[in-house]
């Protein structure tokens, strides 16, 4: 048992449900007004508004009033240089609008990271699908030959498990591509279609449908005979070989073995550096183990002087909701979250209903919220009197596969007054009952909810959950972590995360130099064990 997606990798169902966004009905009717008259009134107004918004220099104050109340460009719509400016905005509204809904991050990318990203974009544009260089590389792939003079090498990422796992493993693969001057291509399955915008200007990261081995990628498992780990095990590849294959499979998922993990050894990278095509299957955030490798150390130190911001920067660079998903996010936000004083996100993931029964989890959430003063207590001996609705002080956004937690918390704050007089509203965008990782609609809802959680002011997440890791990283938050329940409620029930980085659940336990087992959380000062999973490792700032 590892994380959200791991539990669902072997048994998924394809059922679809309607995305119930809890949209309010305005209740206005056009029946009393002739529609033509309304049209004549509306058109001149719309024309004037258009002129105002087109020229804010003439009407800066008026124009500002028509923008979203929380619109905070502050000259940083490119996120400190993370994003390239040469995108057609209409193709991906979220790329430049997300700053309108999310507080400006205090964590700025290094100038070296910004420079590296621009260099990567140039490489991707010159070597990506559709280019002459790509076509030549495909011919060499098919012939089995290696052109050592070619500047174009590739990492092909293969999907595995739930959406949170996929986002984290894609991020890891991308950083590896940047460090090794490779182009990252995504084998996009139908269940991922329409989730993300293209991240790189004037180029696609989607593996073309006519890729030679595309129909075989689904069968790539840990025991695949042509994977790098199995070839090492069978002594069919080594650094002294003159004729190396034009492609290799890398199995970097939670159930990989010792030979697969040798990927994280500098000596093995010497071999892999010569292979034009690496086909990688992964469902873990293996990125922290790249920081154990001396061949990447200098680059990584310059890329990320602030070690707990790796996913925060790369996640916001790579993953922009498609226009369809962005509409779900912004519509829900404006209806339920925009006008409140504070937003509290609570992400609930239960992996075993027997060891973590509903009431245990509910008590854990309420105890954490009370002890850490995240939410006000209620007077259970009093009832809320029927009166004119008060202004909502705090909005609680719950994400969970089931509606039970939402219903109980909503009922509590509706029926009983808070001790401090605050008015609390509780919302839940959807409840799917079970994870359906191969369902495209399910994944769109999940992606929308990860983003909504990232827009909250305070975040509470469930231990082990990659869903929560993505939300905290995008939002730049150190969450309150609900520790895992194993038959009894833990004490303490929750704790503050010491880093906003995700946890690598299945790290190697091998010292490549000493050729012996080792606790990899003790090798470099910025890698330690995770707060929520004792054997995992994650990145921290040394000063913490």
- DSSP secondary structure string for all residues of 505-523: SS---EETTTTEE--GGGS
pLDDT at 544: 58
Segment 484-540, tens digit of pLDDT: 999 999 999 999 999 999 999 999 999 999 999 999 999 999 999 999 999 999 999
Name the burial class of residue 152, with classes exposed (0-12), middle (13-18) and buried (19+) by CB atoms within 10 angstroms of its CB.
buried
Task: Give yes or no for a contact between 302 and 190, defined as CB atoms under 8 angstroms apart.
Answer: no
Q: What dihedral angle (degrees, nearest 10) is formed by the CA atoms of 163, 394, 459, 92?
A: 40
Indicate the pLDDT class of residue 12, thresholds 50, 70 and 90.
very low
Residue 148 has pLDDT above 90, yes or no: no
Provide the 8-state DSSP code for 206: B
CA distances (Å), 488 to each of 214, 364, 365, 416, 483, in order?
47, 10, 14, 28, 11
DSSP 241-273: -SS--SEEEEEESTT--HHHHGGGSHHHHHHHT
pLDDT at 71: 38
Phi, psi (degrees; rounded to nearest 5) at 480:
-85, 125
Which range, of 4-18, 74-88, 100-114, 522-536, averages the lowest pLDDT?
A: 4-18
Other beta carbons within 10 angstroms of residue 341's beta carbon come to: 12
How far the first Cα of the chain sits from its last, in Å, is: 29
pLDDT at 241: 85
Q: Give the HSE-up count for residue 96: Cα atoms under 13 Å, Cβ half-sphere.
A: 13
Spatial distance between the Cα atoms of 347 and 465, rounded to a whole number of angstroms: 9
DSSP 315-384: HHHH--B-HHHHHHHHHHHHHHTTTSSEEEEEE---S-TTTS-HHHHHHHHHHHHHHTTSS--B-TTS--
CA distances (Å), 443 to each of 95, 346, 425, 454, in order?
19, 19, 26, 17
Which of helix, strand or coil describes residue 402?
Answer: coil
Indicate the pLDDT class of residue 15, thresholds 50, 70 and 90.
very low
Q: Are strands 277-282 and 342-347 parallel, antiparallel or unpaired?
A: unpaired
Spatial distance between the Cα atoms of 531 and 274, rounded to a whole number of angstroms: 38
Segment 423-463, tens digit of pLDDT: 999 999 988 777 777 799 999 999 999 999 999 999 999 99
Summarize the confidence of residues 95-101 as an average pLDDT.
93
Segment 190-228, tens digit of pLDDT: 999 999 999 999 999 999 999 998 988 988 988 888 899
pLDDT at 42: 52
Indicate the pLDDT class of residue 54, thresholds 50, 70 and 90.
very low
Locate 508 and state its tokens.
């190697």
Sign, CA torsion 227/231/233/239: negative
Provide the 8-state DSSP code for 33: S
Phi, psi (degrees; rounded to nearest 5) at 454:
-70, -15
Spatial distance between the Cα atoms of 171 and 317, rounded to a whole number of angstroms: 10
Which of helix, strand or coil describes residue 461?
Answer: strand
Q: What dihedral angle (degrees, nearest 10) is formed by the CA atoms of 165, 463, 287, 153?
A: 0
Spatial distance between the Cα atoms of 124 and 182, rounded to a whole number of angstroms: 8
Provide the 8-state DSSP code for 238: -
Task: Quote the percentage of the chain above a pLDDT of 90.
Answer: 74
pLDDT at 386: 64
pLDDT at 9: 52
Spatial distance between the Cα atoms of 500 and 308, rounded to a whole number of angstroms: 6
Which of helix, strand or coil describes residue 312?
Answer: helix
Residue 406 has pLDDT above 80, yes or no: yes
Q: Which helix (H) or strand (E) holds 441?
A: helix 440-454
Summarize the confidence of residues 110-114 as an average pLDDT.
98
Angle 163-179/440-454 helices, nearest 10 degrees? 70
CA distances (Å), 232 to each of 53, 292, 526, 531, in order?
63, 21, 30, 34
Residue 74 has pLDDT above 60, yes or no: no
Q: Please give the model's pTM, rounded to 2 decimal places.
A: 0.87
Other beta carbons within 10 angstroms of residue 516's beta carbon come to: 9
Q: Which helix (H) or strand (E) holds 481?
A: strand 480-482
Task: Give yes or no for a contact between 286 and 146, defined as CB atoms under 8 angstroms apart.
Answer: no
Task: Give yes or no for a contact between 375 and 396, defined as CB atoms under 8 angstroms apart.
Answer: yes
Indicate the pLDDT class of residue 239, thresholds 50, 70 and 90.
confident
Q: Which helix (H) or strand (E) holds 134?
A: helix 132-143
Highest mean pLDDT of the ranges 11-25, 377-391, 509-523: 509-523
Segment 457-485, tens digit of pLDDT: 999 999 999 999 999 999 999 999 999 99
Segment 349-365, tens digit of pLDDT: 999 989 999 999 999 99
Which single residue is written with the structure tokens 């621009």? 118
Provide the 8-state DSSP code for 196: B
Other beta carbons within 10 angstroms of residue 473's beta carbon come to: 28
Segment 367-376, tens digit of pLDDT: 999 999 999 9
Share the mean pLDDT of the chain.
Answer: 87
pLDDT at 27: 33
pLDDT at 388: 53
Summarize the confidence of residues 267-272 as an average pLDDT.
96
């Amino acid at each position: 048992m590892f994380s959200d997606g791991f539990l669902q990798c072997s048994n998924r169902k394809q059922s679809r449900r309607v995305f119930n966004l809890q949209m309010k009905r305005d209740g206005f009717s056009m029946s009393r007004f002739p529609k033509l008259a309304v049209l004549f009134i509306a058109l001149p107004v719309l024309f004037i508004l258009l002129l105002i918004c087109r020229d804010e220099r003439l009407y800066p104050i008026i124009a500002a009033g028509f923008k979203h109340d929380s619109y905070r460009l502050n000259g940083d719509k490119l996120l400190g240089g993370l994003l390239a400016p040469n995108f057609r905005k209409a193709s991906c509204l979220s790329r430049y609008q997300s700053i309108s809904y999310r507080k400006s991050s205090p964590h700025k990318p290094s100038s070296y990271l910004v420079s590296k990203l621009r260099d990567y974009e140039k490489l991707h544009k010159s070597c990506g699908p559709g280019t002459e260089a790509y076509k030549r590389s495909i011919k060499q792939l098919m012939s089995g030959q290696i052109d050592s003079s070619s500047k174009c090498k590739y990492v092909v990422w293969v999907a595995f498990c739930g959406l949170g796992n996929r986002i984290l493993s894609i991020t890891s693969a991308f950083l590896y591509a940047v460090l090794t001057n490779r182009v990252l291509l995504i084998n996009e399955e139908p269940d991922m279609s329409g989730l993300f915008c293209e991240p790189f200007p004037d180029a696609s990261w989607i593996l073309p449908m006519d890729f030679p081995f595309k129909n075989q990628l689904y069968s790539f498992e840990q025991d695949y005979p042509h994977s790098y780990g199995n070839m090492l095990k069978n002594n069919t590849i080594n650094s002294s070989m003159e004729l190396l294959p034009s492609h290799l499979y890398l199995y970097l998922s939670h159930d990989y073995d010792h030979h697969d993990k040798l990927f994280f050894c500098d000596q093995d990278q010497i071999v892999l550096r010569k292979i034009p095509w690496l086909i990688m299957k992964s469902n873990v955030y293996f990125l922290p183990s790249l920081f154990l490798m001396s061949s990447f150390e200098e680059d990584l130190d310059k890329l990320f002087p602030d070690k707990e911001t790796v996913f925060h920067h790369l996640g916001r660079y790579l993953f922009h909701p498609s226009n369809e998903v962005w509409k779900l996010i912004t519509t829900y936000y404006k209806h339920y979250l925009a006008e409140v004083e504070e937003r509290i996100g609570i992400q609930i993931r239960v992996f075993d209903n027997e060891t973590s029964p509903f009431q245990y989890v509910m008590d854990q959430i309420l105890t954490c919220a009370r002890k850490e003063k995240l939410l006000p207590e209620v007077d259970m001996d009093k009832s809320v009197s029927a009166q004119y609705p008060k202004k909502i002080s705090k909005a609680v956004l719950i994400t969970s596969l089931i509606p039970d937690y939402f219903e109980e918390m909503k009922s509590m704050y509706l029926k009983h007054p808070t001790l401090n007089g605050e008015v609390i509203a509780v919302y839940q965008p959807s409840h799917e009952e079970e994870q359906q990782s191969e369902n495209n609609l399910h994944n769109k809802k999940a992606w929308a909810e990860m983003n909504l959680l990232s827009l909250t002011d305070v975040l509470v997440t469930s231990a082990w959950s990659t869903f929560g890791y993505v939300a905290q990283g995008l939002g730049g938050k150190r969450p309150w972590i609900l520790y895992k329940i194993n038959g009894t409620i833990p004490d303490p029930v929750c704790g503050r995360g010491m880093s906003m980085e995700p946890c690598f659940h299945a790290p190697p336990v091998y010292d490549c130099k000493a050729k012996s087992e080792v606790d990899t959380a003790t090798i470099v000062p910025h890698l330690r064990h995770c707060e929520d999973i004792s054997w995992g490792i994650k990145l921290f700032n040394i000063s913490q």
